[in-house]
Structure 1
């Protein structure tokens, strides 16, 4: 996708939970599962031994994103089945935690020592969308433009309502757990890369993170790639949900790249809007960050789509987005679908099996 000579490529990282098929508790099998796979950058371990992360290559279109995500999910799910566990796309483990969950790597041990009050619940799973950029200065300014639109992206992607065998009351229970980290916050209003780098340096000097990779802004400049990395979303239950999210994020980045005056919003309103989105997803009222008033979550999502529509058209993504939105409005968010499966399951093991099936459901392209 090119706008004003800029080529906005896509990459998507997804984090998954490994579950025991008998009782739905976490399965601490990630190191063994990884050992059974061909080594490569597209599948890796994470903070907890029940987590697996996948990463697409650099993609130029949504069909390529869809194909890559489907391939990666199939690869990990097949390996998990052979190892006697289930791979599930859920923002938090829905069953019990047990055993020594921390992955035994030096960086993760340092994190546990630095943040002992946070580490036990740190095994949350997100979907990170990367959009390629020509410069870090432009990326920092785009992050400022993204601020008002983070809550609709979260409302669309909520997928973690069940915690330790019960409905948590949140559509994204992941969000308030993740939000406890010192650097988990919206981007600031940065004028360029130098201002952004000062914020990173300040966080490290305060001890709020061990390194740049541990600075958990809801959207940031990737410390590893020449991209804007939007990190607000839960891992999506289905591939089509992740493709829809990726299309909207790319449209938003492209729009902010060429918009000289992006809408502004107060930080307190952004925080309130994110909490409302995490609570209710697309069902019920949210917060309009421009007025501070309550507004229907679906209306707020519609405003985001209208804002990025020219970019969607330029990329040829408009029909994919409309089709994806129609599906979400008909079948519900990942959280709504999880709740239906949870209500119908006779046990946590059965619920885990149903989630694993939903994770691998054939894309509805």
Structure 2
């Protein structure tokens, strides 16, 4: 184990970051979503934790405070997951870090707030069937103009991050054939997936204003692009991922996202233009990542050819290696990534559990155990 929180070199200031994780509360035997989020939040509040409601009544969300290092992120994630899991258990459910509901009807009851009620009225089945759980990583950036250009630089890497964290192969009791079914469901919204290539913050704002005016999105909070300038924080928000199955995987995701953003900020400051990947190529890369996850093929958007997902993850680490070396995180990242590739991510674990005897209860048990599982000492950040 290495000390990733040691003082940084004076020529590199590591940006702060924060992580949001969304979870599902389910019946422990059937895997059906339980509409008890309000009760879970109340119990968690009694434990001194602040969980938040999400769109449906079976979802809760946790948020870390602003963090500076991997160890700090990991500590907050473990605390939030353990408290949320205990609160779910107290009300008769199980907390799952899973991208989509494993079973039950596609439509779920919505949380009773004015905004969610309006989303339900305006978007119908899209809202009712949106009980999906993702992970969002915020990384601080100098200003809004830089944020927009950073998102341009992130576009080719978003499918790789999706493959890494895929955790939703099972939906309505069956294997969908996709490692990330959540990504497929989210793609039905008008403002989702990879962001367009924007020439400036003014260009970004004009497009978002048009989408709000058209009714395609209710407000700026419904800009669901997988990388976007936050509308209320001085950050870039990367939201491409399924909620990872384990704390290990979320820590890995967070540090890779921060390294990607830091690398992109440096490129912007040097005046380097981002690779203008076409929408068609990105859609193909997203489809491949959603289908295969880490066990199959992906699309190398720099070479425009298929490659094993493991090779693309190696390419990503090489791309950000200078930052990881200078921040002391490279060894930890390599250990965590090796573990995921050897043991499997959430999609691999779910399929392995289902294939034993076809019982969703086994999948629930595996997901529940891994949701709060501690990192192994040799891979702990």
Question: Is 1:115 aligned with 2:123?
Answer: yes
Where 1:36 maps in the other structure, the secondary structure is: helix
**Structure 1 stretch 7-16 or stretch 114-123: which is displaced more?**
114-123
**Which residue pairs with 1:325 in the alignment?**
337
Q: Secondary structure at the match of 1:38?
A: helix
Cross-structure match for 1:219: 227
Give distance in 2, aligned partners of 1:137 and 1:241: 30
Does 2:185 match 1:177?
yes
Distance 1:30 1:2 in 2: 44
CA distance in 1 between counterparts of 2:107 and 2:286 reads: 33
Corresponding residue for 1:303? 315
- In structure 2, relative to structure 1, the CA distance for the partners of 1:105 and 1:5 (3 Å cut) is same
Structure 1 pair 305–61 and aligned structure 2 pair: CA distance change class (3 A) = same
**Equivalent residues, number:** 365
Change (3 A) 1:268 1:113: same
- What residue in structure 1 maps to residue 44 of structure 2? 37
Following superposition, the deviation at residue 7 of structure 1 comes to 4.1
Deviations 1:253-281 (A, max 9, x none): 00011112443422211110011000000
Structure 1 segments unaligned to the other structure (5+ residues): none
Residue of structure 2 equivalent to 1:246: 254
Taking the TM superposition and a 5 Å limit, the aligned residue runs for 1:126-205 are 126-205=134-213
Q: In structure 2, what is the Cα distance between the partners aligned to 1:98 and 1:299?
A: 35
> 1:354 Cα shift?
2.3
Partner of 1:49: 57
CA contact (8 A) 1:30 1:51 kept: yes
Match of 2:93 in 1: 85
TM-score of the superposed pair, with normalisation by structure 2: 0.91
Q: What secondary structure, in the 3-state scheme, does the structure 2 residue paired with 1:233 have?
A: strand
Shift of 1:143: 0.5
Distance 2:286 2:107 in 1: 33
The answer to which of 217-226 and 39-48 deviates more is: 39-48
Q: Distance in 1 between matches of 2:313 and 2:284?
A: 16
Q: 182-191 vs 72-81, which deviates more?
A: 182-191
Partner Cα separation in structure 2 for residue 247 and residue 3 of structure 1 = 20
The answer to whether the 8 Å contact 1:6/1:133 transfers is: no
**Structure 2 segments unaligned to the other structure (5+ residues):** 1-7
CA distance in 2, matches of 1:104, 1:233: 26
Q: Matches of 2:161 and 2:11 in 1, distance apart? A: 25
Query: What's the counterpart of residue 306 of structure 2?
Result: 294
Equivalent residues of 1:42, 1:56 under 8 A apart: no
The CA deviation string for residues 95-148 of structure 1, in whole angstroms up to 9 with x for no partner, is 213885211111111111111131232011001011011211111110011011
Counterpart pick for 2:370 among 355, 358, 362: 358
TM-score, normalising length from structure 1? 0.95
Residue equivalent to 2:3: none
